C-alpha cells in the first residue's frame, strides 16, 4: 500500500520494470528486486496458483487486476517458493522492493519531524487491544499504515493550518495516515478525534477543512493527532530511499533527497577484522569512514548509517549466521584516523551492538564536527559487508585512507659515503668479488652477523635473513636487473636493515609478540594488526588496499615476523623506486603507483 501510494509500481526500478512482454502463447512479466546493493531481475509467466476459481494467495478485490498476485509469485520465486514467504518481515520486504535503508524504531514526535520531510517512507504498525481484529476506533490491529504527511492546526488564527510537525502553545499536531484497505468491512479508517465525522473536525472553519481534505487525496486517508498516534501505534518502519531511486520517482520529488555514500568492503582476519570497541588494541584497524558536518547550519545534520552483511535470499529463517555492528566516534578535525590510543581514552559517541541480522541501521542527528564510523563483525571474523551512509546535502562522507608514500627516503641516507665503515668495506673487498649475488649476500650477513661490530644484530650461523629477503634487498641496488650487487652497496643495505629492525623492535615484540632465546629477534612475532604502525615507524605509509596485500603476502596466523616486515619494507621501497624511475613516456600509461606496488608485492 505504501509503495503504490508513492507510484513506485508504475515506473520505478523497485518493483516493475518493462512489465509486460507479449508473445503468442502467454504473457511474461519481469520484476526487479534489490539484493545486497544491486537489482536482480526475476521473470515469471502469467500462470497463477488457484483455489477454486480464485487465486490461492495474494489477490486484488477486482477480479480483472492481477499485478499483486504476479508480484507475489515473482517474490516467492526469488526466495524459493511460497512457503518461504512466511519467514519474511515488513522490513525485509520493504528493502527488497525499494532498495531502501530500512530500520524499525518506536514512534516519537521528533522522529516524525525529521523523517517525513525527506525521501523516507514511513510504515506504522498498529498495536493489539483485547484480542480483537478491529478496534472501535476503526483501526486494524497489527496492520501497517502508511504515514503520508504532517500538519499543525493553530487555535484562534486566521491561517490556522500549516505544514510541519513543530508546535507551540494551543497548537495541535496532526498526522495523515493511509489505510491498507480500501472500503469494505475491513476498511481500517480512523473514526476517532480529527476524523471527518468527529467534533474536532467539525469545529474547524470551512477553509481549514477544505485545506486538510485537499491533502487527503485518497478515500482511505485520514487525519489523527500525533499524541493519539503515539499511543495507538507500537513501531515505525523507516525506508530511506537513496538519491538514484529518488530521481526516478516523481512522487518523491516533493521531499528532500538524501546524499548517499556506498561502499562494498570485506573484513579480513589479521588486517581489519578488529571487532567491537571493547577490543582496544585491534578495533581501530576496522574500516573507517569519515562524516564531516560543517558549521553554519541552524539545525543538526540527519545521518543514516546502515551496515549489511553478505546474505543469500534462498533462506528459510530471519537471522544470518554472522554478527555485525558498527561504532561511531567524534574526533578532532586534525585527526586523520582513529588510533588504539584514542579508543582507550575516549568512549564512542554511539554504537550498534553485534546482532545476527541482515542489516543494522541507525538514524542520527549530528551537530557540526567530524565523526568516524567503523563497521565491524566479531573479532577475527572474515566476511563481506555493504555500508550505506545517507546524510543531508551539506554533509561530506568519505573513506579514511592513506597515500602510498615513503615519508623519508632513508635508503638515500644510508648510501651516503660518510656513513660507510671503511674497515668493513675493506674486509669485504678482500674476501668477496666486486659484484655478488643474493646467495653471497646471505653468506656475508650470516658469517659476520655475530662477530663483526658493523653487522652486529643482523644474523648468525643458524639464523638471519633468508635468501628471499636477500634477493629483495639486492633488487634495491640493482637497477639493471642483472641479479648482482656491487660490494660497495653492502654496508648501506646493512644499515638500512638495522634501522628497520630497530623499528620492529620498538613496535611490538616486547608487548604483542614472542621471542625465543635460540633465534632471538628473528623468531619474534608481532600481531599483523600492528603492520600499519610498523610501516610508519620504518618511514612509509600504505593505502588500505596495499596494506591488505602486505598482510596477505607476508603474515601467517595473524602474525608477522621480522623477516616478513623486512620483506614488506623492501618491496615498498622497490616499487617506489621503480615507479619514479620511469620516463615521462612510460608514466603516460594508465599504470598507477598503487598498481606498481601491488605487482611488486606479488612478484
CA angle 210, 212, 215 (to 5 degrees): 105
580 is known as an active-site residue: no
SS3 label, residue 155 = coil
Catalytic residue among 5, 57, 59, 143: 143
Q: Of 541, 572, 547, which Cα lies nearest the Cα of 560?
A: 547
- For the four alpha carbons of 429, 431, 435 and 441, in that order, the dihedral sign comes to negative
SS3 label, residue 389 = strand
Cβ atoms 420, 492 nearer than 8 A: yes
Orientation of helix 467-475 relative to helix 438-447, angle to 10°: 110
Q: Rounded distance, CA 474 to CA 462, Å? A: 21
SS3 label, residue 12 = coil
Q: Rounded distance, CA 594 to CA 404, Å? A: 7
Per DSSP, 523 falls in state: G
Helices (H), ranges, 433-543: 438-447, 467-475, 490-507, 531-537
Per DSSP, 250 falls in state: G
Cβ atoms 305, 287 nearer than 8 A: no
Cβ atoms 384, 266 nearer than 8 A: yes
Three-state helix/strand/coil letters over 161-182: EEECCCCCCCCEEEEEEECCCC
CA angle 401, 403, 409 (to 5 degrees): 145
CA dihedral 445, 451, 455, 456 (to 10 degrees): 120
Q: How many CA atoms lie within 13 A of 326 on its CB side?
A: 27
Q: Rounded distance, CA 295 to CA 301, Å? A: 10
Catalytic residue numbers read 143
Amino acid at each position: 500500500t505504501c509503495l503504490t501510494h508513492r507510484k513506485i509500481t508504475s515506473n520505478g526500478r523497485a518493483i516493475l520494470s518493462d512489465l509486460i512482454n507479449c508473445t503468442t502463447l502467454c504473457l511474461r512479466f519481469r520484476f526487479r528486486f534489490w539484493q545486497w546493493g544491486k537489482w536482480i531481475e526475476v521473470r515469471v509467466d502469467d500462470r497463477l496458483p488457484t483455489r477454486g476459481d480464485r487465486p490461492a494467495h495474494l489477490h486484488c478485490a477486482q477480479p480483472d487486476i492481477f499485478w499483486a498476485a504476479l508480484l507475489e509469485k515473482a517474490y516467492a520465486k526469488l526466495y524459493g517458493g511460497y512457503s518461504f514467504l512466511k519467514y519474511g518481515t515488513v522490513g525485509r520486504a520493504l528493502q527488497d522492493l525499494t532498495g531502501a535503508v530500512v530500520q524499525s524504531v518506536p514512534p516519537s514526535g521528533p522522529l516524525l519531524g525529521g523523517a517525513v520531510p525527506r525521501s523516507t517512507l514511513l510504515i506504522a504498525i498498529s498495536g493489539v487491544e483485547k484480542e480483537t481484529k478491529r478496534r472501535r476506533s476503526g483501526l486494524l490491529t497489527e496492520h501497517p499504515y502508511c504515514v503520508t504527511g504532517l500538519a499543525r492546526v493553530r487555535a484562534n488564527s486566521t491561517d490556522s493550518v500549516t505544514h510541519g510537525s513543530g508546535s507551540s502553545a494551543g497548537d495541535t499536531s496532526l498526522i495523515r495516515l493511509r489505510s491498507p484497505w480500501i472500503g469494505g468491512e475491513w476498511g481500517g479508517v480512523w473514526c476517532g478525534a480529527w476524523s471527518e465525522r468527529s467534533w474536532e473536525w467539525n469545529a474547524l472553519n470551512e477553509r481549514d477543512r477544505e485545506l486538510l481534505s485537499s491533502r487527503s487525496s485518497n478515500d482511505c486517508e485520514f487525519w489523527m493527532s500525533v499524541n493519539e498516534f503515539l499511543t495507538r501505534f507500537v513501531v515505525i518502519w523507516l525506508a530511506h530511499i537513496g538519491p538514484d531511486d529518488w530521481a526516478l520517482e516523481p512522487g518523491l520529488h516533493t521531499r528532500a533527497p538524501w546524499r548517499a555514500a556506498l561502499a562494498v568492503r570485506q573484513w579480513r582476519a589479521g588486517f581489519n577484522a578488529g571487532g567491537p570497541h571493547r577490543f582496544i588494541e585491534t578495533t581501530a584497524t576496522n574500516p573507517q569512514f569519515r562524516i564531516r558536518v560543517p558549521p553554519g547550519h541552524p539545525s543538526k545534520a540527519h545521518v543514516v548509517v546502515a551496515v549489511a552483511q553478505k546474505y543469500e535470499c534462498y533462506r528459510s529463517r530471519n537471522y544470518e549466521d554472522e554478527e555485525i555492528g558498527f561504532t561511531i566516534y567524534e574526533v578532532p578535525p586534525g585527526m586523520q584516523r582513529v588510533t588504539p590510543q584514542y579508543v582507550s581514552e575516549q568512549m564512542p559517541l554511539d554504537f550498534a551492538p553485534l546482532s545476527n541480522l541482515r542489516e543494522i541501521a541507525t538514524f542520527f542527528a549530528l551537530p557540526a564536527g567530524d565523526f568516524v564510523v567503523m563497521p565491524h563483525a566479531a573479532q577475527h571474523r572474515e566476511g563481506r559487508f555493504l555500508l550505506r551512509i545517507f546524510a543531508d546535502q551539506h554533509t561530506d562522507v568519505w573513506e579514511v585512507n592513506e597515500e602510498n608514500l615513503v615519508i623519508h627516503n632513508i635508503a638515500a641516507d644510508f648510501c651516503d659515503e660518510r656513513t660507510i665503515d671503511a674497515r668493513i668495506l675493506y674486509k669485504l673487498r678482500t674476501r668477496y668479488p666486486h659484484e655478488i649475488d643474493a646467495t653471497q649476500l646471505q653468506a656475508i650477513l650470516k658469517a659476520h652477523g655475530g662477530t663483526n661490530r658493523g653487522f652486529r644484530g643482523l644474523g648468525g650461523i643458524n639464523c638471519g635473513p633468508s635468501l628471499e629477503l636477500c634477493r629483495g634487498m639486492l633488487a634495491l641496488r640493482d637497477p639493471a636487473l642483472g641479479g648482482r650487487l656491487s660490494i660497495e652497496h653492502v654496508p648501506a643495505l646493512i644499515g638500512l636493515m638495522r634501522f628497520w629492525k630497530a623499528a620492529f623492535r620498538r613496535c611490538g615484540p616486547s608487548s604483542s609478540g614472542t621471542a625465543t632465546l635460540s633465534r632471538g629477534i628473528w623468531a619474534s612475532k608481532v600481531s599483523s594488526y600492528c603492520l600499519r604502525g610498523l610501516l610508519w615507524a620504518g618511514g612509509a605509509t600504505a593505502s588500505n588496499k596495499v596494506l591488505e596485500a602486505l598482510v596477505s603476502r607476508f603474515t601467517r596466523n595473524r602474525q608477522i615476523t621480522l623477516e616478513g616486515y623486512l620483506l614488506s619494507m623492501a618491496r615498498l621501497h622497490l616499487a617506489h623506486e621503480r615507479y619514479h624511475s620511469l620516463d615521462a613516456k612510460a608514466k603516460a600509461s594508465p599504470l598507477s603507483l598503487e598498481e606498481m606496488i601491488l605487482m611488486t608485492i606479488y612478484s
